[in-house]
Amino acid sequence: MATHSELRDFWEHRLEGDWTESGVGYRALGRPFNSWMYKVREEVFLREIGRLGLGGASVLDVGSGTGFYVGLWDRLGAGEVTGCDMTDAAVERLRGRFPRHRFVRQDASELDAFGRADFDVASCMDVLFHITDDDRYASAFVQLGRVVRPGGTLIISENCLQRPEQRGEHQVNRTLETITAVADKAGFDIVHRVPMLMLMNAQVDASLPWRKVWGAFLRAVTLTGPTGWLAGAALYQVDRRLVRGRTESPTTELLVLERREDD
């Protein structure tokens, strides 16, 4: 498993060379497919977070990457939006893309640039499962609990496994039980959980045969840019309907957590 320094170097190099959806997404499937995948993420985020009535809220977006979710916060009418990322490559480009927002280089587990209860809302999207060290993972939740005001909201995406945990060099897929316990210890209650994707991502919470078959299929249909675009366009129409009709997902889910008043 990579060290924290190695992970930072990995993401620095990756985003320096590919500051697009494929750089922050499922890189093996190519940019055309990832562009369609992110359209589903966009629809889910805007629909689910739009229902929370967070217009005018002060927001911290942790692990901003390309600024995809910063742009969605703007569309939702958020107030002041602050972003951070562990890489210089992302922060420098984010400052140019969103000149009216503040961006700093900060790791999710070390948010010392921000004060206690500085924000009404924090989002940490497609980030936490890339923290492979368990202590740093817990620290990220503690830091998010520190910067979000009591009664405030945390929005994350996670792979909430109901099968055994899966560990890789750059990603750890933890169980829903573990995620819930770590969040609870940091002062958060999960109040809402919905699928963010269904078929357009690795099937990490499915049976091993299905994971292998579907993964091989996705890699095969995305071997070229044109076929990846066509596969993405077709699966986009399926996934955007499936995420509305399911309560569980074999892959990434969106979670809304509330910061408890008494912690």
Per-residue pLDDT of the chain (263 residues; tens, 9 = 90+): 667 788 778 888 888 888 888 788 888 999 999 999 999 999 999 999 999 999 999 999 999 999 999 999 999 999 999 999 999 999 999 999 999 999 999 999 999 999 999 999 999 999 999 999 999 999 999 999 999 999 999 999 999 999 999 999 999 999 999 999 999 999 999 999 999 999 999 999 999 999 999 999 999 999 999 999 999 999 999 999 999 989 999 999 999 999 998 76
The span from the CA of 89 to the CA of 3, in Å, is 20
Report the relative pairing of strands 119-124 and 148-158 from DSSP bridges. Answer: parallel
Helices (H), the chain: 4-17, 21-24, 30-50, 68-75, 88-97, 134-147, 176-185, 208-221, 225-245
Residue ranges per structural domain of the chain: 4-259
Q: Supply the pLDDT for residue 203.
A: 97
CATH class of 4-259: alpha beta
Q: Are 239 and 199 in contact (CB under 8 A)?
A: yes
Q: Which residues have CB under 8 Å from 220's CB, separation 6+?
A: none
Tokens of 93: 């480009």
Task: State the Cα–Cα distance between residues 52 and 206, nearest whole angstrom.
Answer: 30
Of 132, 145, 244, 153, residue with least CA distance to 195: 244
Listed residue (36, 18, 19, 15) closest to 226, CA to CA? 36
Strands 59-62, 119-124: pairing is: parallel
> What pLDDT does residue 129 have?
96
